[in-house]
Structures are given as C-alpha cells and as structure tokens.
Chain A
Amino acid sequence: MVSNNSQPLPLEGLRILDLTVVWAGPYATQIFGDWGAEIIRVESIKHFPATTRGMVMRPTKAMVSQKGSLSAYPNRDPGERPWNRTASFNAHARNKKSMTVDMTKPEGQEVFDELLKISDVVIENNVPVSMDRINVNWERVSSVNPKIVMLRMPGFGLDGPYEDYRTFGSHMAGVVGHYSVMGYQGELADMTGNTLTADAAGGAGAALALAAGIRYRNHNDKGIFIEIATAENFANYLGDHILDYTVNERLASPMGNRDISNAPQGVYRCTGEDRWIAISVNSDEQWESLCNLIGSPELAKDPEYSNVSGRRSLHDTIDQLIEAWSKGMDAHKAMNALQAEGIPAGVVMNEEDAFSDPHLEENGFWETLEGAETGKYQYASTLWKTASTDRSHKRAAPRLGEDNEYVYKELLGFDADKYAEFESAGHIGMDYDI
C-alpha cells in the first residue's frame, strides 16, 4: 500500500459524550477513539457500574485469586482503586477520557447540558429506565443541541414488552435464535456454553451508525436520532437462517463444527493441553492433499469419499483418521503443514498464541501503553489499517475521573472555586462515594 502518512485521522475534531456500559457501547466508542474522535466517558462517583469497572467495586482476595477470570486484575491484586485495574475496562477504554458528574442532581444536569452544547455525539447502551432517571432522551438532548447525533442501543430497543429487560449479549443471542445454529450435534443446549458476540456485533454496528449519523448531520445541518436494539442487530447475523424458516419453514439445528459445503470440517486435538487445529476442506483437490498429508493416500482414490456428499456421510470415520494424525502433532506444525498444501486450517488460538503470532506481529497488531494504576501492557491495535494514516494509541484507559480538570476547567470554564464546590458536592472525584 502507498503510504504518505500525512493525513489527519478521519474522526479528528469530533467530540463524543460516552454514557456506555459493559461491552457493546464501549466497543463503538473504542473504534471511534482509535480513529481520532475525542471520547469523554461520563461517569459518576455515586454509582458503581457493575461489570463495566469490575463485577463488584471491591473484590475480595478470594474473588481475584480465581484462575481464568474474564476480567482479572494485574498480578491478581485489585489495588486501592480496583475500578481502574480491571482487565475488561482497560482493554476497551484506551484513547478515552473519563469525567464524573452526578446527574441525579440539578447542577449535574446543567453540566450535562453544557457538555451537550459542545459535543457532536451522545451515545448510550443502558436499559431505558436508567436513562429516564437522569432524563437522557432525544427530546432533551436535541433541544439543547439541535445538531447533535444521538445513538441509543438498549438490548431490545426503546419500545415493546421487553423494553426494560436486563440482558447481556449472550441472552439477546438466545432470544433471537442463536442456539439453533450453535451447538454440538446431538447434545442439549446446556452443553453449548455461551458467547458475547452480540456485543461485538452491536459495537461494530454502532460505530457504523455513528459515522452514518455524523454524515447526516454534516449534510443536512441538523442532528439525528438513531436506535440500535442490540438483539435486532444480532438477529441480522442469523438472517439467512431466518429466511430459511420464513420461506421454507425449515428450522435450523446445530451442526457442531461441521458444514454443508466443506467436508471434512472440524476441530481436532493436537499435542498438549487444550490444543486444537481447525480444518476445512472445500474442494476435492484439498481432500486429496489432506489424505496424503495424514498418511491415508488410499482414501484419495476411494470413490466413496470423492465428493462432498460422500465425505459428509462418512464424516465420523474421516474425523477419526484426521485425529489419529493430529493428536501426535503440534498444533502450529499441523497448521503450517496443512496451509503449505493449500488447505484452510488454523490453530484454535489462545492468548499465548496471539502474543507470539508472527502475522499479528508483522501487522503491528500490538501497541504498548502504560496505565497509571496498571502498568505497561500490550493493547490490540485498530481493527483495520489505512494507507494514508500513521496512527497509534494515544493513552491507556482513563482512571475514574482522570480528566475532570480538563472537562470542567478547560472545556466548561470552571474556576478553582466552582471546581472545589463541585468536588465537595459529590460530582468530581476519583473514588466512588457510595
């Protein structure tokens, strides 16, 4: 790619008021922050957002000593301010700022109005009833700033019987039918486990919606209100199966790791603990190469296996042969051997694989940042690269209220007295006061 590295980032100059929680909303503002927008997280020292800045405010030693936590603390030590040290928040909040204000109080509402006037976007992904409590809605924000772009992304949308349902991405996925396509063949749903892909989907969809909304504002000189029901967004990831039902009345059932057009396809054990190789054969030529590689060249000539439908009906037998080969193989060696033959194959990567992966390394996928209360760690870079921008992450995740001085003094023009007044009134701070 041609690189002149002289372009400003595409979202530079945009200011986003970020009222998002947990994952879906924060993923959208992560993407926006990565590409140059100023993200101001609007938080409160009077309210601990469970699962956003840790599952609980102050986890006990027993809780943090648990192995394999989804959101661990550095060296398993929650520290004095655990809410600044939880992995989940630190991972997504790079390049964002944090200010605190208690919007349940009138003067907090005034601060929010002042921020709305100088911002381009306000985004939130809370249960609607929570936003009602602090009067965050389109009527209010558009009356304060008619040119603002507002994105609301509650799980099930802003109306209807489930409007105020409390759910995570995994539950939205269950509601919209994800378990019809995800699951082990012949096993019950309680063996399947869950994913939080609806959050990733919602965050990416929201980043698109924000960009679209800003373009609408730029060309029409007025704001726009966009709604994404995260569940509806994820239902779109299942749209082809939904049409199979609405047109053919065929209800999908899980195929495990198999596929209708790639056979064999599966995930096979390799040497070591929890080590696996995923393999998809999508042509007869690849099948022949696979047979030779796994030491069963006679199968390549066997007419019963010569096409996809034959291989699908003999899939169990094929799986045994592949695993007899793979279980003595290192997963990476297997991947390289299969790819050398042109067969789609990939290690089921864990964290160590990711951090030692040569492709990610060469793509500059990791960026090192130092957090004031965490230390120096590697952060995933942007989801994509562009030819004309030379960018890097600006800073690690903000501590709660880290940017209060900037927001209140520089942006809103507070003097020292008024700042102190807001400190003592429970708006400004870096520790929860609950």
Chain B
Amino acid sequence: MVNGSKILPMSGIRVLDLTWHLAGPYGTRLLADYGADVIKIERPSEGDPSREMEPLFKDEQGPEKSLLYQYLNTNKRSITLNLKSREGKRIFLELSSHVDVVVENFSPDVMGRLGLDYGVLSSGNPGLVMTSISNFGSTGPYKNWQASELTTYAMGGAMINTGHPEKPPLYIGGHIPSFHVGTVSAAATAISILGAEKSGQGDHIDLGAFQIWMGAIDRRQSYLMSHQYTGDISTRPWPASALGTGIWQCIDGYFMTAVGVGLFPRMANMIGASDLLNDKNWSTAAARSDPERLDESIALIVPWMLERTKAEARDAAQEHGVYGGPINSFEDLLNDPHFQHREFFQEVDHPKMGPITYPSAPFKLHLDNSKGNEKIAAPLLGEHTEEVLKDFLGTSASEIKKLREGGVI
C-alpha cells in the first residue's frame, strides 16, 4: 500500500501486525518490503517497546528516536489500539475480518486470554492466515519458559560451534537470532498465503525460535546428521584447523579463507608455493590430509598475509579462485565500491529525524518499473489510525474522537 500503485508480489495482501520487539516486526517488514499492506497495531501512548530501544538517533530519547524501530518498521502503517478494552477488542475483531493475515508474537496463551485466538478470528474469516511466533512454540514442556536472544542461540545449538575451543561458546552478535526467526516467519506466512489463496482455507502457523535455530542449516543440520553417523559430538574448531582455512592477520586487518585439502592447489598458487604441488607430500588430496601438512601450510600462509593489505589478499584470492573475504567494519562496508555500485545503501527521509541511510531490502525484483526495494520511513505512532479505521470500517470522525477520548485509540 505504502509502495503506491506499483504491482509487487504481495500487493493486495493486508496484514494486521500485532508484533512487537524484534522477531515479529522484522518478519512483517519483509512482507511489507514485498508489497503487503502491513498495519502495525501499537499500544496507545507508548507504542511498541522497541520505540525506546538502542541505537537512538543522536542518542536522544523519545518515541520517534529509536533507529532500531525505524529499521524494523519501514513501509508499514501504524494505528494505536488498546486491545485490553472491550471497544478495542471489537475494533480488532472487525479489522481482522477485512485482512488476509494476522501476525503476533505474544507469549503462547495471550491471544486466547484476550479472546482473540485463531478459532475466534477465523470464524468470520475462514481464509485468514494467522502466524504466531514465540520462543518455544505453543506446545511442549518449555512453552512458558523464558528466553533471550543469547539463550535461544545457545539452545538452538549453533553456539556450541561458535567461538574458540579454549573459550566459552560465543554469541552470534547483534539481534541476529531474532531477525532470523523473523525471516522464517515471513516465509511461513507467504507459503500459507499461497495455500489459502488456492483453497480458500486459511491456517494457523506455530513458530518457535528454539525449533527454528535447531533446524537451521548453519552447521546444525550437518552436525546433527554427522553425530548419528559417527557418534561424534561437535565443538568449536581450532582456528586454521583445515588446510588453508582460517582468519589471517594482514597489514590493515584480517582476511578469512576456507580452502580444504581438495582445493589447496589454488591457495598454493596464490601464495607463490606452486612448487609444493610437485612434491609427493603435497601432490594429492590424500597426501595433503596428513596433519603435518597443516602446520607446514600455516608457516607459509602467515608471512604471505602479513605482507599484504586486505584488498591485496582479496584480489589475489579471487584471481586464484580461493574462497575468502576481508573482515570489514561497517565503515568499510559503506565505502565498499561493490555495494556502492549496486546502490545497496539508500537514504530515506523521516519527518522528525531527516534523511537516514539504510541498507536496501534483502532482494531485488527485476520488474520493468521497480526493484521492489524502495523504502518509506517507519510510521509515527498512530500516524494511520484515522485513515485505517475510516477505510476499513467506515468509522466517522465523531466516533474516532470518542474512541480517542476513551483511550481506545
């Protein structure tokens, strides 16, 4: 909707978005990026708690200052509604009969307690897709357990493989655990929309962050299968534990490579050690899998890297087909010629903060009139309340005034 008249993949899909904090809003933002009309429902006066979360615009306080909120809510509309009031519930129920999707990430029993569970919402709208996101899903012994992003990453399993073998397992950083759950929730929603549009029958999706991480392809699936094959229990690998693989110090930072015994000849060529490949200790993959080769290779790679910049190492790696890349800061990223060439960063104007530079949506549509990744700033709290109530329910100006005075909106 906010993307105007362009026809995008999710154009025409209306989403009532009850999500807050991180995972849910990232997922509905993706749906909005693809063209869905996402109507974010926020608590009157306070809004989504993420409106107060860091990072803040120039470290200033206030509901329109959180860069995290801005990032997670572009292309959405915002209405305020008190779901705990009778009127608020009535309005929500009416709105829900006009939409294709409801998304929520409350604790598993909250929607039921509000009298707004899937049975209620779908009774007047059988094609409705409802997406429920929680830490552990709606069933099972942990369903009411507490979680943080750290504990989700820990229980999800990939953490046992992240970090250094002589140190504690390491967190993946930032809000990655939540954003990934958001992506999966958007995929689940879009898949169920396809089913609902075909059959006329909606569905209720039940996502748990724990299960999503345990089923992630980031090492987990492979290690879970490998364990059954061998009985091995995985841990954090030593740095440079595979041939030609590691994070190497350069003149101006670090450069990472992943090679292995099979592709090592490429690296030998890169570091000017192609003579090695004539030696019977190095000429075959089997010979190269001798652990002694590992130490010998490190002794060759370290000095080569120490004499080069990240950019030089990158160019050499690409020339020789060595899988690798530099360890960059966000400053490096913003100045990177590749991302500039692709116009990956875009400025979006915000009425209170002015222009802010964002990373573009995670996809490009090759449509005649659109890449589909144009952004509109996140909504002000309740910016679209009147517009949505009028458009969806025909609520009159005087009724809206009454609702506002009653604290419903």
Contacts and interface: CB of A to CB of B under 8 A. Distances in A.
Interface string B329-372: 11111101111011011000000010011111111111100000
Given A72-B226, A233-B363, A214 B194 contact: yes
B80 interface: no
Contacts of A261: 53-54
A166 interface: yes
B222 A384 contact: no
B10 to A, nearest CB: 6
Contacts of B141: 358-359, 362
Contacts of B179: 201, 236-237, 239
Given A236-B361, A268-B168, A344-B148, A10 B326 contact: no
A400 interface: no
Interface in A22-36: 23-24, 26-27, 30-32, 35
Contact of A239 (B8, B71, B157, B221): B71
B205 interface: yes
A349 B199 contact: no
A208 B170 contact: no
A417 interface: no
Contacts of A62: 286, 289-290
A378 interface: yes
A76 interface: yes
16 contacts: A1-B206, A71-B222, A72-B225, A92-B217, A159-B342, A166-B321, A184-B164, A195-B219, A197-B176, A236-B179, A240-B175, A241-B330, A257-B150, A351-B224, A382-B215, A388-B201
Given A27-B217, A242-B330, A348 B169 contact: yes
A276 B330 contact: no
A261 to B, nearest CB: 8
Contacts of B408: none
Interface in A372-416: 377-389
B315 to A, nearest CB: 10
A252 interface: yes
B258 A168 contact: yes
A137 to B, nearest CB: 11
B385 interface: no
A348 B361 CA distance: 32
Interface stretch (A38-46, A173-181, A294-302): A173-181
Contacts of A352: 227, 233
A159 B195 CA distance: 34
A91 interface: yes
Contacts of A251: 329-331
Interface stretch (A97-105, A224-232, A426-434): A224-232
A146 interface: no
A339 B67 contact: no
A167 B323 contact: yes
A12 to B, nearest CB: 8
A216 B236 CA distance: 43
B309 interface: no
Contacts of B219: 70, 195-196
Most B-side CB within 10 Å, residue of A8, A11, A239, A347: A239
A63 B288 CA distance: 10
A322 to B, nearest CB: 12
Contacts of A213: 9
Given A207-B191, A276-B154, A174 B148 contact: no
B217 A60 contact: no
A50 B262 CA distance: 8
Interface in A41-79: 50, 55-56, 60, 62-63, 67-76
A220 B196 CA distance: 17
Interface residues of B, number: 163
B79 to A, nearest CB: 24
B147 interface: yes
A144 interface: no
B106 interface: no
Given A193-B236, A226-B366, A359-B210, A247 B186 contact: no
A161 B338 contact: yes
Contact of A237 (B176, B185, B207): B176
A153 to B, nearest CB: 9
B256 A349 contact: no
Contact of A282 (B148, B159, B330): B148
Contacts of B63: none
A413 to B, nearest CB: 28
A183 interface: yes
B239 A384 contact: no
Given A88-B225, A225-B366, A227-B366, A197 B71 contact: no
A197 B180 contact: yes
A7 interface: yes
A87 B229 CA distance: 8
A382 B360 CA distance: 29
A218 interface: yes
A160 interface: yes
Q: Which 3 A-B pairs have the closest CB atoms?
A: A10-B195, A181-B173, A171-B325
A418 to B, nearest CB: 35
Given A197-B158, A212-B34, A256 B171 contact: yes
A214 to B, nearest CB: 6
B218 interface: yes
Contacts of B67: 240, 243-244, 247-248
B213 to A, nearest CB: 9
A267 B201 CA distance: 45
Contacts of A233: 362-363
Contacts of B58: 247-248
A181 B333 CA distance: 14
B208 interface: yes
B334 A246 contact: yes
Nearest to A35: B191
Contacts of A219: 11-12
A191 B237 CA distance: 11
Contacts of A386: 192, 203-206
Interface stretch (B39-47, B131-139, B386-394): B131-139
B78 interface: no
A250 interface: yes
Contacts of A291: none
Nearest to A32: B191
Interface in B140-191: 140-143, 145-164, 167-176, 179-180, 183-188, 190-191
Contacts of A218: 194, 197
A138 interface: yes
Interface string B219-262: 11111111111101111110100000011110001101010111
Interface string A1-18: 110000111110000000
Interface string B72-96: 1000000000000000000000000
A1 B326 contact: no
A156 interface: yes
Contacts of B197: 215, 218
A295 B213 CA distance: 33
